[in-house]
Amino acid sequence: MSEPADNGSQTVEAARRALSARLQAAGNDSAELDARFLVGAALGLDLTGMITAAGRAITRDESNRLDGFAQRRLAGEPVARILGMREFWGLPLTLSAATLVPRPDTETVVERALELLRAGGPIDRTLQIADLGTGTGAILLALLSELPNAHGFGTDISEAALQTARENASRLGLADRATFIACDYASGLTGPLDLIVSNPPYIRSADIAGLAIEVRDHDPHAALDGGPDGLDAYRALIAQSVSLLGPNGSLVVEAGQGQSGDIEALMTAAGLSPAGPPKADLGGIPRAVSACRLPR
Protein backbone atom coordinates (compact mmCIF):
# COMPACT_ATOMS: atom_id res chain seq x y z
CA MET A 1 0.00 0.00 0.00
CA SER A 2 1.40 3.39 -0.88
CA GLU A 3 1.65 6.35 1.48
CA PRO A 4 -0.02 9.55 0.34
CA ALA A 5 2.47 11.84 -1.37
CA ASP A 6 3.81 14.74 0.70
CA ASN A 7 2.82 18.25 -0.47
CA GLY A 8 1.29 16.76 -3.58
CA SER A 9 4.72 15.52 -4.70
CA GLN A 10 5.07 12.44 -6.86
CA THR A 11 5.69 8.90 -5.70
CA VAL A 12 8.84 7.15 -6.91
CA GLU A 13 6.73 5.08 -9.28
CA ALA A 14 4.88 8.11 -10.66
CA ALA A 15 8.17 9.95 -11.18
CA ARG A 16 9.57 6.99 -13.09
CA ARG A 17 6.49 6.77 -15.30
CA ALA A 18 6.43 10.50 -15.94
CA LEU A 19 10.10 10.52 -16.94
CA SER A 20 9.63 7.51 -19.19
CA ALA A 21 6.71 9.22 -20.94
CA ARG A 22 8.71 12.44 -21.29
CA LEU A 23 11.69 10.64 -22.83
CA GLN A 24 9.44 8.62 -25.12
CA ALA A 25 7.68 11.75 -26.33
CA ALA A 26 11.12 13.13 -27.24
CA GLY A 27 11.74 10.11 -29.48
CA ASN A 28 13.98 8.11 -27.13
CA ASP A 29 13.59 4.45 -28.01
CA SER A 30 14.98 3.21 -24.70
CA ALA A 31 12.83 5.55 -22.61
CA GLU A 32 11.60 2.92 -20.15
CA LEU A 33 15.06 1.62 -19.32
CA ASP A 34 16.66 5.08 -19.26
CA ALA A 35 13.99 6.30 -16.83
CA ARG A 36 14.65 3.37 -14.49
CA PHE A 37 18.38 4.06 -14.42
CA LEU A 38 17.98 7.81 -13.97
CA VAL A 39 15.40 7.55 -11.18
CA GLY A 40 17.59 4.94 -9.50
CA ALA A 41 20.63 7.22 -9.72
CA ALA A 42 18.77 10.35 -8.59
CA LEU A 43 17.39 8.51 -5.55
CA GLY A 44 20.40 6.31 -4.86
CA LEU A 45 18.35 3.14 -5.26
CA ASP A 46 19.07 -0.09 -7.10
CA LEU A 47 16.27 -1.85 -9.00
CA THR A 48 15.09 -3.78 -5.93
CA GLY A 49 15.22 -0.63 -3.83
CA MET A 50 13.11 1.17 -6.40
CA ILE A 51 10.43 -1.51 -6.26
CA THR A 52 10.39 -1.42 -2.45
CA ALA A 53 10.22 2.38 -2.46
CA ALA A 54 7.72 2.64 -5.34
CA GLY A 55 4.94 4.13 -3.21
CA ARG A 56 6.88 6.71 -1.19
CA ALA A 57 6.92 10.38 -2.08
CA ILE A 58 10.11 11.75 -3.60
CA THR A 59 11.67 14.69 -1.78
CA ARG A 60 12.26 18.11 -3.30
CA ASP A 61 15.99 17.43 -3.54
CA GLU A 62 15.40 14.13 -5.32
CA SER A 63 12.95 15.78 -7.65
CA ASN A 64 15.46 18.52 -8.52
CA ARG A 65 18.23 16.02 -9.06
CA LEU A 66 16.02 13.90 -11.27
CA ASP A 67 14.97 16.91 -13.29
CA GLY A 68 18.63 17.79 -13.86
CA PHE A 69 19.29 14.27 -15.11
CA ALA A 70 16.20 14.42 -17.34
CA GLN A 71 17.36 17.69 -18.93
CA ARG A 72 20.78 16.21 -19.64
CA ARG A 73 19.31 13.05 -21.17
CA LEU A 74 16.87 15.12 -23.28
CA ALA A 75 19.87 17.14 -24.55
CA GLY A 76 21.45 13.92 -25.83
CA GLU A 77 23.81 12.93 -23.02
CA PRO A 78 23.89 9.13 -22.68
CA VAL A 79 22.64 7.59 -19.44
CA ALA A 80 26.07 6.04 -18.83
CA ARG A 81 27.68 9.50 -18.86
CA ILE A 82 25.08 10.88 -16.46
CA LEU A 83 25.66 7.96 -14.10
CA GLY A 84 29.43 8.06 -14.69
CA MET A 85 29.49 4.29 -14.97
CA ARG A 86 28.61 1.43 -17.27
CA GLU A 87 28.57 -2.29 -16.77
CA PHE A 88 30.69 -4.40 -19.15
CA TRP A 89 31.03 -8.19 -18.92
CA GLY A 90 29.19 -7.89 -15.61
CA LEU A 91 31.87 -5.54 -14.24
CA PRO A 92 30.93 -2.01 -13.12
CA LEU A 93 33.29 0.45 -14.83
CA THR A 94 33.80 4.12 -14.04
CA LEU A 95 33.83 6.40 -17.09
CA SER A 96 35.57 9.69 -17.73
CA ALA A 97 35.55 12.27 -20.51
CA ALA A 98 38.67 10.57 -21.94
CA THR A 99 37.05 7.15 -22.30
CA LEU A 100 34.55 5.64 -24.70
CA VAL A 101 31.41 4.22 -23.10
CA PRO A 102 31.97 0.45 -23.34
CA ARG A 103 29.42 -1.13 -25.72
CA PRO A 104 27.79 -4.55 -25.45
CA ASP A 105 29.10 -5.31 -29.00
CA THR A 106 32.63 -5.19 -27.62
CA GLU A 107 31.91 -8.22 -25.41
CA THR A 108 32.20 -10.17 -28.70
CA VAL A 109 35.94 -9.38 -28.67
CA VAL A 110 36.21 -10.81 -25.15
CA GLU A 111 34.29 -13.94 -26.19
CA ARG A 112 36.47 -14.54 -29.25
CA ALA A 113 39.68 -13.99 -27.28
CA LEU A 114 38.57 -16.50 -24.63
CA GLU A 115 37.64 -19.06 -27.34
CA LEU A 116 41.11 -18.80 -28.86
CA LEU A 117 42.85 -19.04 -25.48
CA ARG A 118 40.73 -22.04 -24.46
CA ALA A 119 41.64 -23.80 -27.72
CA GLY A 120 45.32 -23.34 -26.79
CA GLY A 121 45.28 -24.96 -23.34
CA PRO A 122 43.97 -24.60 -19.79
CA ILE A 123 42.50 -21.21 -19.08
CA ASP A 124 44.45 -20.96 -15.81
CA ARG A 125 47.88 -21.15 -17.44
CA THR A 126 50.29 -18.23 -17.20
CA LEU A 127 49.48 -15.73 -19.93
CA GLN A 128 50.73 -12.33 -21.03
CA ILE A 129 48.04 -10.24 -22.69
CA ALA A 130 47.67 -6.65 -23.91
CA ASP A 131 44.78 -4.32 -24.71
CA LEU A 132 45.75 -1.49 -27.08
CA GLY A 133 43.78 1.72 -26.53
CA THR A 134 42.28 0.37 -23.33
CA GLY A 135 40.10 3.38 -22.40
CA THR A 136 38.16 2.36 -19.27
CA GLY A 137 40.14 -0.90 -19.27
CA ALA A 138 36.95 -2.73 -20.27
CA ILE A 139 38.34 -5.51 -22.49
CA LEU A 140 41.50 -6.02 -20.43
CA LEU A 141 39.69 -6.20 -17.09
CA ALA A 142 37.01 -8.53 -18.50
CA LEU A 143 39.75 -10.88 -19.69
CA LEU A 144 41.72 -10.69 -16.43
CA SER A 145 38.50 -11.50 -14.54
CA GLU A 146 38.30 -14.76 -16.53
CA LEU A 147 42.02 -15.65 -16.63
CA PRO A 148 43.30 -16.14 -13.08
CA ASN A 149 47.00 -16.38 -14.02
CA ALA A 150 47.16 -13.78 -16.75
CA HIS A 151 49.03 -10.51 -16.55
CA GLY A 152 47.72 -7.68 -18.70
CA PHE A 153 49.12 -4.52 -20.23
CA GLY A 154 46.68 -1.74 -21.03
CA THR A 155 47.94 1.04 -23.27
CA ASP A 156 46.42 4.38 -24.17
CA ILE A 157 47.72 7.68 -25.51
CA SER A 158 45.50 9.45 -22.99
CA GLU A 159 46.87 9.73 -19.43
CA ALA A 160 43.37 10.63 -18.26
CA ALA A 161 41.99 7.40 -19.74
CA LEU A 162 44.77 5.39 -18.07
CA GLN A 163 43.90 6.99 -14.74
CA THR A 164 40.31 5.82 -15.17
CA ALA A 165 41.47 2.33 -16.18
CA ARG A 166 43.74 2.15 -13.11
CA GLU A 167 40.85 3.12 -10.84
CA ASN A 168 38.68 0.45 -12.42
CA ALA A 169 41.40 -2.19 -12.04
CA SER A 170 41.81 -1.29 -8.36
CA ARG A 171 38.12 -1.30 -7.58
CA LEU A 172 37.73 -4.71 -9.24
CA GLY A 173 40.70 -6.18 -7.35
CA LEU A 174 42.68 -6.69 -10.57
CA ALA A 175 45.34 -3.99 -10.15
CA ASP A 176 48.12 -6.42 -9.20
CA ARG A 177 47.77 -8.16 -12.57
CA ALA A 178 47.37 -5.04 -14.72
CA THR A 179 50.03 -2.61 -15.90
CA PHE A 180 48.96 0.58 -17.64
CA ILE A 181 51.31 2.27 -20.07
CA ALA A 182 51.01 5.59 -21.91
CA CYS A 183 51.91 4.92 -25.54
CA ASP A 184 50.54 4.70 -29.05
CA TYR A 185 48.93 1.23 -29.39
CA ALA A 186 51.73 -1.35 -28.81
CA SER A 187 54.71 0.95 -29.27
CA GLY A 188 55.68 0.81 -25.56
CA LEU A 189 55.35 -2.97 -25.17
CA THR A 190 57.78 -5.86 -25.37
CA GLY A 191 56.81 -9.44 -26.18
CA PRO A 192 56.23 -12.25 -26.33
CA LEU A 193 52.50 -11.89 -25.77
CA ASP A 194 49.91 -14.67 -25.89
CA LEU A 195 47.08 -12.35 -26.84
CA ILE A 196 46.63 -8.80 -28.08
CA VAL A 197 43.15 -7.25 -28.18
CA SER A 198 41.94 -3.84 -29.27
CA ASN A 199 38.83 -1.80 -29.94
CA PRO A 200 40.56 1.02 -31.79
CA PRO A 201 38.97 4.14 -33.31
CA TYR A 202 37.39 3.02 -36.59
CA ILE A 203 34.86 5.61 -37.72
CA ARG A 204 35.72 7.30 -41.03
CA SER A 205 36.61 10.94 -40.30
CA ALA A 206 33.94 12.18 -42.70
CA ASP A 207 31.24 10.09 -40.94
CA ILE A 208 31.79 11.54 -37.48
CA ALA A 209 29.59 14.60 -38.02
CA GLY A 210 26.65 12.30 -38.83
CA LEU A 211 26.88 10.11 -35.72
CA ALA A 212 24.20 10.14 -33.02
CA ILE A 213 24.60 13.05 -30.57
CA GLU A 214 25.22 10.53 -27.78
CA VAL A 215 28.37 9.36 -29.57
CA ARG A 216 29.49 12.46 -31.50
CA ASP A 217 29.21 14.91 -28.63
CA HIS A 218 30.01 12.64 -25.67
CA ASP A 219 32.54 9.98 -26.68
CA PRO A 220 36.11 11.27 -27.06
CA HIS A 221 36.91 12.11 -30.67
CA ALA A 222 40.28 10.36 -30.40
CA ALA A 223 38.50 7.10 -29.54
CA LEU A 224 36.28 7.32 -32.63
CA ASP A 225 38.26 8.80 -35.53
CA GLY A 226 39.86 6.08 -37.66
CA GLY A 227 41.11 8.42 -40.39
CA PRO A 228 39.90 8.84 -44.00
CA ASP A 229 38.93 5.18 -44.54
CA GLY A 230 38.49 4.26 -40.86
CA LEU A 231 41.41 1.82 -40.99
CA ASP A 232 44.37 3.95 -39.84
CA ALA A 233 44.49 2.46 -36.35
CA TYR A 234 44.40 -1.12 -37.67
CA ARG A 235 47.33 -0.42 -39.99
CA ALA A 236 49.39 0.88 -37.07
CA LEU A 237 48.47 -1.69 -34.47
CA ILE A 238 48.66 -4.75 -36.76
CA ALA A 239 52.15 -3.77 -37.90
CA GLN A 240 53.25 -3.28 -34.27
CA SER A 241 51.62 -6.49 -33.03
CA VAL A 242 53.17 -8.99 -35.44
CA SER A 243 56.60 -8.99 -33.76
CA LEU A 244 55.11 -8.95 -30.23
CA LEU A 245 53.03 -12.10 -30.57
CA GLY A 246 54.51 -15.32 -29.22
CA PRO A 247 54.50 -18.55 -31.26
CA ASN A 248 50.80 -19.29 -30.68
CA GLY A 249 49.83 -15.72 -30.02
CA SER A 250 46.67 -14.21 -31.40
CA LEU A 251 45.33 -10.78 -32.19
CA VAL A 252 41.63 -10.00 -31.78
CA VAL A 253 40.24 -6.63 -32.82
CA GLU A 254 36.80 -5.07 -32.95
CA ALA A 255 35.63 -4.13 -36.44
CA GLY A 256 33.19 -1.43 -37.45
CA GLN A 257 30.28 -2.45 -39.66
CA GLY A 258 31.55 -3.58 -43.07
CA GLN A 259 35.24 -3.48 -42.09
CA SER A 260 35.99 -7.12 -41.24
CA GLY A 261 37.18 -8.08 -44.75
CA ASP A 262 39.55 -5.11 -44.99
CA ILE A 263 40.96 -5.86 -41.54
CA GLU A 264 41.53 -9.53 -42.39
CA ALA A 265 43.35 -8.45 -45.54
CA LEU A 266 45.60 -6.14 -43.48
CA MET A 267 46.33 -8.97 -41.04
CA THR A 268 47.16 -11.41 -43.82
CA ALA A 269 49.37 -8.87 -45.60
CA ALA A 270 51.27 -8.38 -42.32
CA GLY A 271 52.01 -12.10 -42.16
CA LEU A 272 49.28 -13.22 -39.75
CA SER A 273 46.93 -16.09 -40.41
CA PRO A 274 43.13 -15.54 -39.95
CA ALA A 275 41.89 -17.56 -36.93
CA GLY A 276 38.50 -18.55 -38.30
CA PRO A 277 35.72 -16.30 -39.58
CA PRO A 278 34.92 -13.05 -37.74
CA LYS A 279 32.64 -13.51 -34.74
CA ALA A 280 29.30 -11.73 -35.09
CA ASP A 281 27.77 -9.56 -32.36
CA LEU A 282 24.16 -9.97 -31.18
CA GLY A 283 23.01 -7.83 -34.10
CA GLY A 284 24.65 -10.25 -36.57
CA ILE A 285 27.44 -7.83 -37.55
CA PRO A 286 30.90 -9.40 -37.97
CA ARG A 287 32.51 -7.73 -34.96
CA ALA A 288 35.57 -9.59 -33.71
CA VAL A 289 38.30 -10.25 -36.28
CA SER A 290 41.11 -12.52 -35.19
CA ALA A 291 44.39 -13.83 -36.52
CA CYS A 292 47.29 -15.91 -35.24
CA ARG A 293 50.97 -15.69 -35.74
CA LEU A 294 52.10 -18.16 -38.40
CA PRO A 295 54.57 -20.79 -37.12
CA ARG A 296 58.10 -19.90 -38.15
Is 155:173 a contact under the CB 8 Å cutoff?
Answer: no
Q: How far is the CB of 275 from ligand GLN (least distance, A)?
A: 20
Residues that bind ligand GLN (CB under 6 A): 100, 103, 199-203, 215, 224
**Beta bridge partners of residue 290, listed in sequence order:** 252
The gap from C-alpha 236 to its chain's centroid, in whole angstroms, comes to: 21
135 is in an annotated binding site: yes
88 versus 202: smaller Cβ distance to ligand GLN:
202
Looking at beta carbons only, is 133 or 152 nearer to ligand GLN? 133
Instruction: Please tell me whether 134 is known to bind a ligand.
Output: yes
Q: Which is nearer to ligand GLN, 50 or 215 (CB)?
A: 215
Instruction: Report the residue number whose CB is nearest to ligand GLN.
Output: 202
User: Which DSSP string corresponds to 176-242?
Assistant: GGEEEEESSTTTT--S-EEEEEE----B-GGGGGGS-HHHHTTS-GGGTB--TTS-HHHHHHHHHHH
Of 244, 213, 12, the closest CA to residue 129 belongs to: 244
State the nearest-atom distance from the C-beta of 110 to ligand GLN, in Å: 14
Whether residue 117 contacts residue 93, with contact meaning beta carbons closer than 8 Å, is answered with no
Q: 200 or 286: whose CB is closer to ligand GLN?
A: 200
Establish whether 262 is an annotated binding residue. Answer: no
Find the shortest distance in angstroms from Cβ 178 to ligand GLN.
21
DSSP annotation of 175: G
Tell me whether residue 247 is annotated as binding. Answer: no
Q: Tell me whether residue 199 is annotated as binding.
A: yes
d(CA 93, CA 223): 17
Is the Cβ of residue 128 or residue 240 nearer to ligand GLN in the bound state?
240
CB of 244 to ligand GLN, least distance (A): 21
- Which residues contribute to the annotated binding site for substrate? 199-202
